[in-house]
């Protein structure tokens, strides 16, 4: 892996992965980060790393749907490995504006696969990062495994299921060396504040309502982002080509339990806003999302048995670290809220805390 292309590296998980490679692993190659810099992409997420590794880190602002631009990246930097994060990922946005999800998640993945296939003699690996949402919804019992049939409920999940199938088909049809990972809900540092956990943290700090869909009984498995990054690198370096690996956090929680835990941790760190005794009083139940899956839970025994990976953070320890990061990085949050981080590329974004 001399020349590793990471797509979507300025986003939440992608930027955490890039920092993990440079700071926590023995990666010694060159990394090329391609990111379109939509509203959730932020150059600030990697500014320190870019300054520290000017000879080994390259940033290319480009759209993965642009076939000519991607071919130029593959050829200019002699790309031999791909880790593909770039995706539209917010379920609520996919319900309102599905076109962007079809374009980026399906067509964009296809463009990258075609670039890799045209240079298959030098491609070591194409790793595709996906989600457990492709499997649909579980009842009160059971777990998703790598053999669970796809049954997506939202346009986002359907677009990721399609991209998973494209990657798998390129391995079966053309022999492209691939791996796929399907992960549970991530949380941690640098997550864009439209997602549930940062949304609740920031609203709770400001004394604003904490929106919870329905009765808050939907269940998700939570995965600390650093654990996810370790798993991806383990798959890329040691995983069997052509194989899919589920990555879970062993941390099933109802949404209401997540929100109340955040309230309790914040109350222990900082006094509640004036006028309330506990941040739990800010919880507000709102109309449920259309097609909202009841429960996700992952069987990740394959990656544990084959690659000796397990999550190291419990939900409680990971959540405490996450809250502390947002408390320590208020400047980053304010630059997101103000839209200041978008000015250099001329974008306008009406910031709103939408939740997930």
The catalytic site residues sit at 132-133, 156
> What are the residues whose beta carbons fall under 8 Å from the beta carbon of 217, sequence distance 6 or more?
254, 255, 256, 294
Q: Which pLDDT score, from 0 to 100, does residue 338 have?
A: 76
Confidence of residue 242 (pLDDT cuts 50, 70, 90): very high
Question: Which token pair is 242?
Answer: 């052509």
Question: Which token pair is 99?
Answer: 């076109």
| 159, pLDDT greater than 60 | yes
Q: Are 89 and 45 in contact (CB under 8 A)?
A: no
Average pLDDT score, the chain = 92
Query: DSSP assignment of 121-157, as one string?
Result: TT--EEEEEEEGGGG----SS--B-TTSPP---SHHH
Q: Which pLDDT score, from 0 to 100, does residue 355 have?
A: 35
Q: Which pLDDT score, from 0 to 100, does residue 339 have?
A: 67
Confidence of residue 287 (pLDDT cuts 50, 70, 90): confident
Please give the torsion angle defined by the CA atoms of residues 235, 224, 138 and 286, in that order, rounded to the nearest 10 degrees: -150
Q: What whole-number distance in Å separates Cα of residue 35 and Cα of residue 306?
A: 32
> Cα dihedral sign for 290, 217, 148, 236?
positive
Mean pLDDT of 175-183: 98
Per-residue CA distances from 108 to 85, 143, 173, 184, 278 (Å): 11, 30, 19, 22, 46
Q: What does the pLDDT look like over 121-149, one tens digit per residue?
A: 999 999 999 999 999 999 888 999 999 99
37-51, 194-208, 296-310 — most confident range: 296-310
Confidence of residue 194 (pLDDT cuts 50, 70, 90): confident
Q: What does the pLDDT look like over 64-123, one tens digit per residue?
A: 999 999 999 999 999 999 999 999 987 888 998 999 999 999 999 999 999 999 999 999
| 341, pLDDT greater than 70 | no
| 356, pLDDT greater than 80 | no
Q: What whole-number distance in Å separates Cα of residue 306 and Cα of residue 235?
A: 10
Q: Which pLDDT score, from 0 to 100, does residue 70 have?
A: 98
More confident residue, 72 or 351: 72
Give the number of other Cβ atoms within 10 Å of residue 287's Cβ.
8
| Element containing residue 255 per DSSP (H, E) | helix 255-269
Q: Which pLDDT score, from 0 to 100, does residue 308 have?
A: 98
| 345, pLDDT greater than 50 | no
| 22, pLDDT greater than 50 | yes
| Element containing residue 173 per DSSP (H, E) | helix 155-174
| 346, pLDDT greater than 80 | no
Q: Which pLDDT score, from 0 to 100, does residue 178 have?
A: 98
Q: Which pLDDT score, from 0 to 100, does residue 354 have?
A: 33
Sketch out the chain's domains with CATH numbers: 3-190+222-252+293-313 (3.40.50.720)
Confidence of residue 340 (pLDDT cuts 50, 70, 90): low
Candidate from 2-16, 46-60, 176-190, 339-353 with smallest mean pLDDT: 339-353
Q: What whole-number distance in Å separates Cα of residue 278 and Cα of residue 143?
A: 35
More confident residue, 84 or 273: 84
Question: Which token pair is 129?
Answer: 């990062």
């Amino acid at each position: 892996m001399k020349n590793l292309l990471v797509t979507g590296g300025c986003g939440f998980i992608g930027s955490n992965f890039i920092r993990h490679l440079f700071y926590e692993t023995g990666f010694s190659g060159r990394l090329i980060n391609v990111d379109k810099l939509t509203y959730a992409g932020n150059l600030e997420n990697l500014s320190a790393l870019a300054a520290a590794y000017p000879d080994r880190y390259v940033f290319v602002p480009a759209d993965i749907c642009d076939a000519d631009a991607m071919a130029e990246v593959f050829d200019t930097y002699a790309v031999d490995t791909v880790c593909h994060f770039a995706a539209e990922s917010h379920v609520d946005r996919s319900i309102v504006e599905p076109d962007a999800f079809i374009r980026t998640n399906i067509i964009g993945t296809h463009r990258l696969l075609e670039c890799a296939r045209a240079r298959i003699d030098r491609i070591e690996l194409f790793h595709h990062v996906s989600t457990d949402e492709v499997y649909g919804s579980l009842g009160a019992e059971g777990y998703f495994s790598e053999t669970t049939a796809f049954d997506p409920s939202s346009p986002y999940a359907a677009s990721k299921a399609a991209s998973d199938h494209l990657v798998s088909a390129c391995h079966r049809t053309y022999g492209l060396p691939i791996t796929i990972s399907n992960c549970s809900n991530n949380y941690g540092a640098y997550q864009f504040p439209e997602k549930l956990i940062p949304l609740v943290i920031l609203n709770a700090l400001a004394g604003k309502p904490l929106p919870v869909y329905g009765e808050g009984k939907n269940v998700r498995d939570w995965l600390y982002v650093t654990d996810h990054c370790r798993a991806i690198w383990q798959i890329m370096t040691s995983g069997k080509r052509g194989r899919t690996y589920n990555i879970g956090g062993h941390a099933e929680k109802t949404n209401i339990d997540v929100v109340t835990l955040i309230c309790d941790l914040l109350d222990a760190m900082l006094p509640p806003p004036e006028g309330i005794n506990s941040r739990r009083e800010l919880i507000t139940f709102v109309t449920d999302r259309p097609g909202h899956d009841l429960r996700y839970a992952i069987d990740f025994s394959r990656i544990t048995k084959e690659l000796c990976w397990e999550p190291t953070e419990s939900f409680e320890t990971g959540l405490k670290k996450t809250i502390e990061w947002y408390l320590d990085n208020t400047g980053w949050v304010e630059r997101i809220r103000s839209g200041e981080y978008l000015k250099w590329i001329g974008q306008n974004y009406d910031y709103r805390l939408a939740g997930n």
